[in-house]
């Protein structure tokens, strides 16, 4: 029989009774096992993520089946390459105890353990977002969280913000559509959302968007179906993902990209780096380049899912950034959040650690369990040939930017054409769902905010505004 020990291997003689001064006496502080157990319990939870707090994850592979070497020199994207990955799904607005089947965006974050370091795509299940300037991001998140006075979620706050920031209308329409509640994580698409760049061996830059199309088919829930499911199972998506993989029904997504040459970006007619807009497929077709498959569940949820940390700052040679303002801000904010939430050396945890060689001069910090390998120098530059050195051949091509720094307004105020295009694609049933979902979400919203929303809907389509008005009237009479 195995002997019970504490965290340091000290054998525990009695794990049932505290050490006391007499049978009724007070506790003794020398009972270090008791103190260790209580102290550890106090620290069993790390702060939950500000957003994407509740998640599910699994391991898998990326398989590249097409030759796109003319666009990128990244080894991970070369034909025939197979790369291990970890994918974390999540809800966005809810806390760690939120129900899986709530109307919300879903996070779609992938960590690729490539031969050249970790490459992270921190995406969602939608191709756009609510805001395009990070200045607005903290305020937007506040509207999705609890009112600090009532500690309740506020539909009025959400709609007040959305209607005062009409760039949100595109994402709001997707959120309120039939796709606002995926039936499971397996039955939804994933998107990198941002514009990134690919760089080839000739040091040419191409703008790129990443898409992951579910091979299981799109399946969604209505409000009524979701309410019924949540009443029985708050972990429906977690359960579905875990059990599907356990049964060998491995979920797959087709990996596709959109490519624009650096000098072709103008053909879109709008800012290609605007996170609230999509690149129309008739202008920039999808190119299929491979697939991802999830084929292994985690062994320890806390270690592997809760402590997993993703950031768009994790890139590899041949893949890089763009002038997307939201992407630029996330490059800072994500690693900063991880250092606060998990610790300075979160990158050393097995789930986050690169499988490729790592050579750095970063030292010390809380919970640093790494082996220091720089024998002759702990600084750079240094005189020793066996110490890590910079490699200028990995410099990226020049990026042309404006010469004046100021707080520029958006390049356009076209908030309505892409939501109109999406609305026109919907069939009658989808439109009816949209009207009912929007009306239901406006419960408790001030009339001035509702009227502002209807004014925006009218600009998208008179049918949109009229449909929501009628849905609101039906709800009013039902009450």
Count the neighbouring beta carbons within 10 Å of the beta carbon of residue 247. Answer: 8
Output the pLDDT for position 476.
86
Give CA–CA dist 37/27, Å, rounded: 14
Contacts of 114 (CB under 8 A, 6+ apart): 74, 75, 76, 83, 316, 356
- Per the CB < 8 A criterion, the answer to whether 57 and 305 are in contact is yes
Question: Is the link from the previous residue into 297 a cis peptide, with omega within 30 of 0?
Answer: no
Between residues 14 and 372, which one has the greater pLDDT?
Answer: 14
Distance of alpha carbon 267 from alpha carbon 156, whole angstroms: 39
304's tokens: 């592997």
Distances (CA, A) of 230 to 71, 154, 225, 341: 45, 20, 9, 29
Q: How much is the average pLDDT of 247-271?
A: 95
User: What are the beta bridge partners of residue 290?
Assistant: 64, 255
Distances (CA, A) of 117 to 83, 329, 381, 470: 11, 22, 22, 54
Instruction: Tell me the pTM.
Output: 0.92
Report the share of the chain in percent with pLDDT over 90. 76
User: What CA–CA distances, in Å, run from 427 to 34, 204, 431?
Assistant: 63, 42, 6
Identify the pLDDT of residue 23: 85
Q: Which residues are part of the catalytic machinery?
A: 52, 124
pLDDT class for 140, splitting at 50, 70, 90? very high
- Helices then strands, counting H and E runs in the chain, come out as 12, 10
Counting every residue, how long is the chain?
A: 479
List, in order of start, the domains of the chain with CATH numbers: 1-44 (4.10.91.20), 55-347 (2.40.180.10), 417-478 (no CATH)
What percentage of the chain exceeds 70 in pLDDT? Answer: 100
| Residue 373 in this model has a pLDDT that exceeds 80 | no
Per-residue pLDDT tens digits for 266-297: 889 999 999 999 999 999 999 999 999 999 99
310-328 residue pLDDT tens: 999 999 999 999 999 999 9
455-468 pLDDT tens trace: 999 999 999 999 99
- CB-based burial of residue 109 (10 Å sphere; 0-12 exposed, 13-18 middle, 19+ buried)? buried
């Amino acid at each position: 029989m195995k002997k019970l020990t504490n965290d340091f291997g000290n054998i525990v003689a009695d794990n049932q009774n505290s050490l006391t001064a007499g049978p009724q006496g007070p506790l003794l502080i020398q009972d270090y096992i008791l103190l260790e157990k209580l102290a550890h319990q106090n620290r069993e939870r790390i702060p939950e993520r500000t957003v994407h707090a509740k998640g599910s994850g699994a391991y898998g592979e990326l398989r590249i089946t097409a030759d796109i070497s003319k666009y990128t020199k990244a080894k991970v994207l070369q034909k025939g390459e197979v790369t291990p990955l970890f994918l974390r799904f999540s809800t966005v607005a809810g806390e760690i105890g939120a129900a899986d089947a709530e109307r919300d965006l879903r996070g779609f974050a992938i960590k690729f353990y490539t031969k050249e370091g970790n490459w992270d795509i921190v995406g969602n299940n939608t191709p756009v977002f609510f805001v395009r300037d990070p200045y607005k991001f903290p305020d937007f998140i506040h509207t999705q969280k609890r009112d600090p006075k009532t500690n309740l979620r506020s539909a009025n706050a959400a709609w007040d913000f959305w209607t005062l920031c009409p760039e949100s209308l595109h994402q709001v329409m997707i959120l309120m559509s039939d796709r606002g509640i995926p039936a499971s994580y397996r039955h939804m698409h994933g998107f990198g959302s941002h514009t990134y760049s690919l760089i080839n061996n000739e040091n040419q830059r191409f703008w790129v968007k990443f898409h992951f199309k579910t091979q299981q088919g799109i399946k969604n829930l209505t409000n009524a179906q979701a309410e019924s499911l949540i009443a029985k199972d708050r972990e429906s998506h977690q359960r579905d993902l875990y059990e599907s993989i356990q049964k060998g029904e491995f979920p797959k997504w087709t990996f596709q990209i959109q490519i624009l040459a650096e000098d072709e970006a103008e053909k879109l007619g709008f800012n290609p780096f605007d996170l609230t807009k999509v690149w129309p497929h008739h202008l920039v077709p999808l190119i299929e380049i491979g697939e991802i498959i999830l084929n292994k569940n985690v062994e320890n949820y806390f270690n592997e899912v809760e402590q997993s940390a993703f950031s768009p700052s994790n890139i590899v040679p041949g893949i890089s950034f763009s002038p997307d303002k939201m992407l630029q801000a996330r490059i800072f904010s994500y690693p900063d959040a991880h250092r606060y939430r998990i610790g300075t050396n979160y990158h050393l945890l097995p789930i986050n650690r690169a499988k490729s060689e790592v050579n750095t001069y970063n030292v010390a910090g809380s919970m640093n369990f790494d082996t220091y390998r720089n024998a002759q120098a702990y600084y750079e530059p240094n005189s020793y040939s066996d110490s890590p050195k910079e490699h200028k051949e990995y410099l990226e091509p020049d990026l042309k930017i404006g010469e004046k720094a100021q707080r520029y307004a958006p390049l356009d105020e076209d908030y309505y054409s892409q939501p109109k295009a999406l609305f026109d694609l919907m069939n009658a049933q989808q439109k009816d769902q949209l009207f009912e979902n929007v009306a239901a979400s406006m419960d408790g919203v001030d009339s001035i905010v509702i009227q502002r929303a209807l004014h925006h809907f009218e600009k998208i389509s008179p049918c949109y505004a009229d449909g929501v008005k009628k849905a609101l009237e039906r709800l009013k009479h039902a009450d």
